[in-house]
């Protein structure tokens, strides 16, 4: 079963449970309150009749008792009788005609009053007679009338319980009808809302499923519509971001394959061509200058291939965290001079000025000489590609107390601001760099490797640039003292190794 019908059924089930339990609770509570109200009303009717009897006895007005009894017979549902028995006048019964007749058939009894003062609440008793259920209230009264004569009697008020229960049943039935209609309306509305809610919840999920299927089929341009600002909307937004990243990675993959193909094809073609030349005839028959040129090109192409493969291996080591960093004394000044000296013939050929700017407080720190040399060589090589004749390339170093900041700067074409945060990613190249730069096309691995090496030293690297004015790449390395060789510890360790 799909998610939408399951959500709909679950929501409807919850609505039914909530409405059903609420209806039962309301019904039981309402019935209890009705019974409480009925009992309270009966007590109230009895007290009113009791007061009327006391007033009538005091005034000696028997007809007022009869009139009040008849009014109760007409106005109170389920009332059986309302009678006053005057014990001081040989048990004369006063009340309405119907009340006296019913009272005669039932003849209820009222317990005598214990003590001087009668109880505040009336006596109440339920009885069954001739398959009918009755409830009556009674209380004995004693007072002196207006003539000074003492009057004693008992007030009785009886109800037919079956009639009262019938009235309660009618009210309950009416309430159940109202509740059933309410349940049907709530269920209908709940079903509609459940369907709409399930549709609203499952529609974005269906979009995500369709989008994932489309991306799986290679349609990387797929985008999910964002229809809400809740968690599902955030999920759709993240999906779109993922699709854009996959599309970008796919493009980078194509660029990398193209770069790799070029990096491999060019030197291999050169090697194959000159090897074929050397094999075409005996070596002594080939002019020495041609033979030397062929061997030189074969050597350069082999070195180019080795460098490219080394970059790929370094990147793989950095990604897996297996790059070995040998901590040894590192003189950044001497290292920078060696790197700039390496490029000096190219600087002179392209008429580029170079400079070193080191303060006197640059110490010898701990680091991997070969790896930092690789970083600086890569950065200077990049600057050389994009710096025109007459420009300047340099290395600057400053002591920042806890770290040493080394900056490779140039006066080249610059890097767009939107590319500064991504130039250190794998296979990433600056837009139009292939057109505006000099030299061979790169693979987009150099800066990624440089970033990995610097971070493996516990440092950080970033780029600043302004179009048309130049670029500066800053790298900071921890200002840790270089390891000191301890001859005593070495000798002890050596002797221990011999014993083992």
Q: Confirm whether 127 is domain-assigned.
A: yes
250 and 113 within one domain: no
Q: How far apart are the first and last CA of the chain?
A: 70
Q: Confirm whether 191 is domain-assigned.
A: no
Among residues 73, 61, 51, 65, the alpha carbon closest in space to that of 141 is found at 51
Q: Confirm whether 176 is domain-assigned.
A: no
Copy the structure tokens of residue 312. Answer: 């790929």
> Residue 456 CB: number of other CB atoms within 10 A?
17
What are 465's strand-pairing partners?
471
Q: Confirm whether 494 is domain-assigned.
A: no
60 and 20 within one domain: yes
pLDDT value at residue 495 = 55
Instruction: Report d(CA 341, CA 335) in Å as an integer.
Output: 10
Angle of helix 62-75 versus helix 3-59 axis, rounded to 10? 170
88 and 162 within one domain: yes
pLDDT value at residue 294 = 79
pLDDT digits (tens, 9 = 90+) for 304-331: 777 767 767 776 776 666 677 888 999 9
pLDDT value at residue 56 = 92
Q: Confirm whether 288 is domain-assigned.
A: yes
pLDDT value at residue 500 = 45
Last residue of a domain, one of 170, 198, 215: 170
142 and 22 within one domain: yes
How many domains are contained in the chain?
3
278 and 157 within one domain: no
310 and 347 within one domain: no
Look up the CATH number of the domain holding residue 289: 1.10.287.130
Is the sign of the CA dihedral 85, 90, 94, 100 positive or negative?
Answer: positive
Full pLDDT tens readout for the chain, 500 residues: 566 677 777 777 777 788 778 878 887 888 888 888 888 888 999 999 999 999 999 998 889 999 999 999 899 888 989 999 999 888 899 999 988 988 888 778 888 766 555 556 788 888 887 677 888 899 988 888 888 889 999 999 999 888 888 888 888 888 888 888 887 887 788 778 777 777 777 777 777 778 888 877 777 788 877 777 777 777 778 888 888 878 777 776 776 666 666 566 667 777 888 788 777 777 777 778 877 887 888 887 787 777 767 767 776 776 666 677 888 999 999 999 999 998 998 899 999 999 999 999 999 999 999 889 989 998 999 899 889 999 999 999 999 889 999 999 999 988 888 888 788 877 666 655 544 445 545 566 788 888 888 988 899 999 999 988 999 999 999 988 766 545 455 455 545 544 54
276 and 304 within one domain: yes
pLDDT value at residue 71 = 92
pLDDT value at residue 485 = 47
18 and 166 within one domain: yes
Last residue of a domain, one of 141, 170, 199: 170
Look up the CATH number of the domain holding residue 131: 3.30.450
pLDDT value at residue 443 = 60
pTM listed for this prediction: 0.46
338 and 470 within one domain: yes
Last residue of a domain, one of 291, 320, 349: 320
**Contact present, 103 and 81 (Cβ < 8 Å):** yes
Number of residues that this document lists for the chain: 500
438 and 421 within one domain: yes
Which residue range is the domain that position 39 belongs to? 3-170
| Burial letters 420-452, b for 16+ CB under 10 A, else e | eeebbebbbbbeebeeebeeeebbbbbbbbbbb
Among residues 357, 467, 456, the alpha carbon closest in space to that of 407 is found at 357
Look up the CATH number of the domain holding residue 474: 3.30.565.10
Q: Confirm whether 274 is domain-assigned.
A: yes
332 and 306 within one domain: no
341 and 472 within one domain: yes
pLDDT value at residue 283 = 73
Q: Confirm whether 219 is domain-assigned.
A: no
Instruction: Report d(CA 455, CA 98) in Å as an integer.
Output: 108
Which residues, 6+ apart, have CB-to-CB distance to 158 below 8 Å? 79, 80, 81, 82, 102, 103, 106, 108, 134, 135, 136, 137
In terms of Cβ atoms closer than 10 Å to its own Cβ (0-12, 13-18, 19+), residue 270 is: middle
Q: Confirm whether 244 is domain-assigned.
A: yes
Q: CA torsion, points 109, 115, 120, 122, in degrees to nearest 10? A: -10
Quick one: how far is CA 40 from the chain centroid? 56
């Amino acid at each position: 079963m799909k998610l939408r019908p399951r959500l709909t059924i679950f929501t409807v089930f919850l609505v039914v449970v909530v409405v059903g339990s609420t209806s039962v609770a309301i019904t039981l509570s309402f019935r209890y309150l009705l019974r409480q109200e009925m009992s309270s009303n009966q007590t109230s009717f009895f007290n009113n009749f009791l007061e009327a009897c006391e007033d009538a006895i005091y005034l000696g007005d028997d007809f007022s008792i009869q009139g009040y009894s008849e009014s109760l017979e007409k106005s109170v549902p389920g009332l059986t009788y309302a009678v006053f028995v005057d014990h001081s006048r040989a048990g004369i019964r006063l009340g309405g005609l119907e009340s006296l007749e019913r009272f005669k058939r039932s003849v209820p009894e009222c317990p005598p009053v214990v003590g001087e003062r009668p109880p505040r609440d009336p006596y109440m008793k339920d009885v069954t007679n001739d398959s009918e259920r009755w409830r009556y209230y009674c209380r004995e009264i004693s007072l002196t009338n207006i003539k000074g004569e003492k009057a004693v009697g008992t007030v009785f008020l009886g109800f037919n319980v079956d009639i009262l229960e019938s009235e309660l049943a009618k009210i309950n039935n009416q309430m159940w009808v109202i509740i059933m209609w309410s349940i049907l309306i709530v269920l209908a509305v709940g079903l509609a809302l459940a369907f709409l809610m399930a549709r609203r919840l499952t529609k974005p999920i269906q979009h995500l499923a369709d989008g994932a299927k489309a991306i799986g089929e290679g349609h990387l341009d797929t985008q999910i519509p964002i229809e809400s600002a809740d968690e599902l909307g955030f999920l759709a937004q993240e999906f779109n971001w993922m699709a854009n990243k996959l599309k970008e990675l796919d493009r980078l993959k194509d660029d990398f394959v193209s770069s790799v193909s070029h990096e491999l094809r060019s030197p291999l073609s050169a090697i194959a061509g000159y090897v074929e030349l050397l094999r075409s005839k005996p070596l002594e028959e080939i002019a020495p200058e041609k033979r030397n040129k062929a061997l030189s090109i074969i050597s350069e192409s082999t070195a180019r291939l080795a460098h490219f493969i080394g970059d790929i291996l370094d990147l793989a080591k950095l990604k897996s965290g297996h790059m070995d960093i040998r901590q040894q004394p590192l003189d950044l000044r001497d290292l920078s001079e060696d790197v700039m000296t390496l490029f000096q013939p190219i600087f002179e050929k392209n008429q580029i000025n170079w400079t070193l700017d080191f303060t006197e407080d640059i110490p010898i720190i701990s680091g991997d000489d070969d790896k930092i040399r690789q970083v600086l060589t890569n950065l200077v090589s990049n600057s050389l590609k994009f710096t025109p004749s007459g420009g300047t390339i340099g290395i600057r170093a400053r002591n920042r107390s806890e770290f040493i900041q080394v900056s490779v700067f140039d006066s080249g074409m610059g890097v767009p601001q939107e590319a500064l945060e991504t130039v250190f990613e794998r296979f990433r190249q600056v837009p139009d760099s292939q057109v505006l730069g000099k030299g061979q096309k790169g693979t987009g691995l150099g800066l990624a490797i440089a970033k990995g090496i610097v971070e493996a030293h516990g440092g950080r690297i970033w780029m600043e640039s302004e179009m048309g004015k130049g670029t500066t790449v800053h790298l900071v390395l921890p200002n840790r003292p270089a390891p000191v060789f301890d001859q005593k510890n070495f000798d002890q360790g050596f002797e221990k190794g011999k014993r083992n």
